[in-house]
Amino acid sequence: MGTGSALKSGRKNGVIVPEQPGKSAIEVRGVRKVFGTGESQVAALDTVSVSIRENEFFTLLGPSGCGKTTLLRLIAGFDFPSAGEILLHGQDIAPLPPFKRPVNTVFQNYALFPHMTVAENIGFGLEMLGKPKAEVKARVAEMLKLVKMEALSGRRTSQISGGQQQRVALARALAPQPKVLLLDEPLSALDFKLRKEMQIELKRLQHETGITFIFVTHDQEEALTMSDRIAVMSSGRILQVGTPWDIYDKPAERFVADFIGETNFLTAAITGMANGKARATLKSGATIDATVAEGFQPKDNATVVVRPEHAKLTSGKGDLSGTVENIVYFGTDTHIHVRLDSSEAFTVRQQNTRSAGCGFERGDKVGISIGNDAAQVLRD
Amino acid sequence: MGSRFDIRRQTGFTAIAMICFFALYLPIITVVVYAFNAGSSIAIWEGVSLRWFYQAWNNNQVVDASIRSLQIASVAATIATIVATMAALATTRTKPYPGLGFKYAFINQPLMVPEIVTAVALLIFFSRIKIWTGYSGLGYLMAAHTAFCIPFAYLPIRARLENMDLTLEVAAADLYATPWKAFRRVTFPLLWPGILAGLMLAFVISLDDVVITEFVKSGGQDTLPTYMLGQFRRVITPEINAISTVFLLISILIVTVFFFISRKKDQE
Ligand SMILES: Nc1ncnc2c1ncn2[C@@H]1O[C@H](COP(=O)(O)OP(=O)(O)O)[C@@H](O)[C@H]1O
Ligand SMILES: [Mg+2]
C-alpha cells in the first residue's frame, strides 16, 4: 500500500477526515502462533504484521481456518503469541491478562450470562471495573437506548430472540467504552434479513461511539460493504491490507482476486514498469495499461486480472478476441462467457438495458476491449 | 413413525412394569403402613395409632443416634462437596493430559473398591491412630464418611461443569472480571445446582451408611442405621417402622427441595 491509498482510507462515511499518521490503535508486529508440538505442529498465524488505526472499521477477511479467530484471541489476551508483539496505542500489552486490557469482544455465540438479566449483562463490565452504582445504572440505560432494547431490560437472556441477543452482546461489550471492540463473525448466526439490518446497525454504532472495530468475517460482500479497511487472510498470513476499493480493484495476489468477487486471469509479459504502472502485452498481442501490485518481481509469465464489469464486448476488433460460449442472464446484468483465441476463458459482465437480449449470441466472434484503468498485475 | 419400535406396545410390557413397580414400592408401603400399627407386631395389623412414633421420639438412644447421624452427615457432606467442587474444577478446566484418567480413578476410588475392604482398612488404620492420640470422638466417622461421599458429590458437579459453556468464563475475563470474580459471579452461580445436587446426594449417602460406620465407630457412637441394625438382633417392634418412615419423609423432603431449586435455576 502506498501513500495514495492511505489518503483514500481517510474517507469515512463520505466525509474526509484528516489522517493522523502513526496513530494506530492496534499494532501487530511479526506475530506467530503455533499450536501443538512436534509432528502435529500447526502455525495458525505465520508472522503477521498489521497496523489498525484509531476509529477505524477494520475487517479480517478470509476462509474458515485461516487464523482470524486466533488473531482476535491474541489481541483480547485469551491466548499468547508464540513470537512477535502486539501494541495497544503504542504500548506492549503482552504482559496484560484479558481482564486488564481495555479491549472487549463480541463472541460468535454471544456468550451472554444466562443467570443475569439483559441489564445485568450490560452492566457487568462496568461493575467489574468498580464503577459506582449510579454510574453503572446510567450507562446501562444509555446502552439499552443505543441498541434499542429498553423495553426488554429486565428479561433473562434466554427469553429474547437471536437478533436481540446480538444487540445485548454488542451493548455489553460497548458499555465499558473499550479502546478497541473485537467482533468474531457476529452476524453469521443471523438470517439474511436480520444480518442486513445488523450490518447497518453495526456501522451506525461504530460511527456513534467512535470506537475502533476489528470485525471478522468470511463473507466478502459483508467485508466490502462495511469496512474502512480490509485485511485478506489465508493460511495464517495476511496477504493484503487496503480499502474495499483497493482490495477489489487492485488485488495483490491470485488468492485475493479469486476470493473477492469474480475475475478474469490472463497471462502477459510486463514491460515499462514505473510508478506502480506498466504495460502488459497479452497473448493476443495487444498491449494494455496496467497497475502493478506492490512487491511484483519482473518475470516471463505474469498474471493480469481484469474484473468482468471492467471489460467491454464489441462486435469489432478489441484487445482480445474470441467466441461467445455461454450467456447467463442475471436481471441487473448479463454474464457473457467467451473462449479467447488463446484458449483462455474470459467473462464479461454487461449492464442490462430494457431491451430484448444483450446484443450477442452463442457462437458469435467477438472482440473484448479493456479500459485504460482496468487491469492489475499480480505479484504471484 | 408408525412402524417405529415402541417398547410400550410390546406384549407383557405393562405386566413387567407393574411387577417392577410393586417389587420396588410394596415393601416400602408395608413399612410405612405398619408404622401406624396399634399392636406390637410388624406383621399383624391391630388398628391405627401413633404410639410407635411417640415411643421412638421418647427413646433417648434413637434421638442420640439421629442427632449423631445428622452431625456426621452435615459435616461429611459439606467437606466432601467442597473438595469435590475443587476436584471437579481442576479436572474439567484443563486440557487433557497424561495422568488425568488416573486422577478420575483416584477421586472415584470409593465407588470401585468394595466397601467392606475400605471398612476393614479404616478400622485398622484408625485403631492405630486412636492408640497414638487417645482421641476417640466422632472425627473418625466424619473423616471416613467424607472420603466415601466425595465421588457422589463429584459426579453431578463435574457433569454440570462439563456442560457449561466455557466462553462464558472467557467473556467474564474479557469484561474485566479477575479469575476470582469470574468464578464468584459466573462459574459458581451456574454451577450451584450441581453443587446442591452433590451436597444432597452426599448427605443421603452418609445418612444411610452401615458397613463403614459399623467398623469405624467406637462404643456409644451408633448412628441411626447401625442402631436399627442392632435392634433387629432383639425384639422387632413397629418402632423401627416409625423411624424408617420419618427417615423416608426426610429423604423425600430433601429430594423435593432440590427438585424445585434446580428447576428454578434451569428456567433462568
Ligand atoms: N486451540 C487450538 N489448538 C490447536 N489448533 C488450533 C487451535 N485453535 C485454532 N487452531 C488451528 O489454527 C487454525 C486457525 O484457526 P482459527 O483462528 O480458528 O481460524 P478462523 O477463525 O479463521 O476460522 C486452524 O487450522 C485451527 O485448526
Ligand atoms: Mg473463527
Residue B176 in contact with partner chain A when CB distance is under 8 A:
yes
Nearest to B165 among A105, A111, A124 (CB): A111
pTM over 0.90: no
Q: Which protein residue's CA is at the shortest distance from atom 6 of ligand 1?
A: A35
Tell whether the model's pLDDT for residue A46 goes beyond 80: yes
- What is residue A95's three-state secondary structure? coil
Per-residue pLDDT tens over the stretch A263-279: 999 999 998 888 889 99
Flag whether pLDDT at B22 surpasses 80. Answer: yes
Report helix, strand or coil for A29. strand
Nearest CA distance, A113 vs chain B (angstrom): 7
A356 vs B162 pLDDT, higher one: B162
Q: What is the pLDDT of residue A190?
A: 83
When pLDDT is cut at 50, 70 and 90, the band that residue A238 belongs to is very high
Question: φ and ψ at A161, to 5 degrees?
Answer: -75, 170
Closest CA to B258 of B250, B209, B145: B250
| Pick from B167, B179, B181: CB nearest A107 | B167
In whole angstroms, give the CA distance from residue B18 to residue A275. 91
Helix pair angle (A133-146, A118-128), 10° resolution = 130
Angle A369-A372-A376 from CA coordinates, rounded to 5°: 95
Q: What is the pLDDT of residues A318-343, one digit of tens each?
A: 889 999 999 999 888 999 999 999 88
Beta carbons within 10 angstroms of residue B156's beta carbon: 23
Q: What would the pLDDT profile of A277-307 be if each residue is shown by its tens digit?
A: 999 998 888 899 999 998 888 887 899 999 9
Return all residues near A48 (Cβ < 8 A) that are at least 6 apart.
A28, A30, A31, A32, A67, A71, A84, A236, A237, A238
Q: Which pLDDT value is given to residue B70?
A: 92
- B94 in Cβ contact with B228 (< 8 Å): no
Q: Which grid coordinates are listed for A11?
A: 474517507
Which DSSP string do the residues of B134-165 spell out, in sequence order? ---STHHHHHHHHHHHHHHHHHHHHHHHHHS-
∠ CA A134-A136-A140, rounded to 5°: 120
| Integer CA distances (angstroms), A55 to A204, A246, A247, A291, in order | 13, 20, 20, 30
Mean pLDDT computed over every residue of chain B: 88
Give yes or no for residue A4 having a pLDDT over 70: no
Residue length of chain B: 268
What domains can you pick out in chain B, each with its CATH number?
A: 60-267 (1.10.3720.10)
- The crossing angle, in degrees rounded to 10, of helices A162-174 and A118-128 is 20
Residues of chain B positioned with their CB less than 8 A from the CB of A105? 171, 174
Q: How far is A174 from chain B (nearest CA, A)?
A: 10
Distance CA A338, CA A361 (A): 11
Q: Does the beta carbon of A158 lie under 8 angstroms from any beta carbon of chain B?
A: yes
Ligand with an atom nearest the CA of residue A61:
1
pLDDT at position B189 over 70:
yes
Ligand 1 atom nearest to CA at A236: 14
Give the sheet arrangement for strand A237-242, strand by strand.
A103-106, A180-184, A212-217, A57-61, A229-234, A237-242
Ligand number with the minimum distance to the CA of A68: 1
Question: Could you give all domains of chain A from N- to C-terminal order, each with its CATH number?
Answer: 4-102+178-249 (3.40.50.300), 262-377 (2.40.50.140)
Pocket of ligand 1 (CB under 6 A): A 35-36, 42, 44, 62, 64-70
Per-residue pLDDT reduced to its tens digit, A117-135: 999 999 999 999 999 999 9
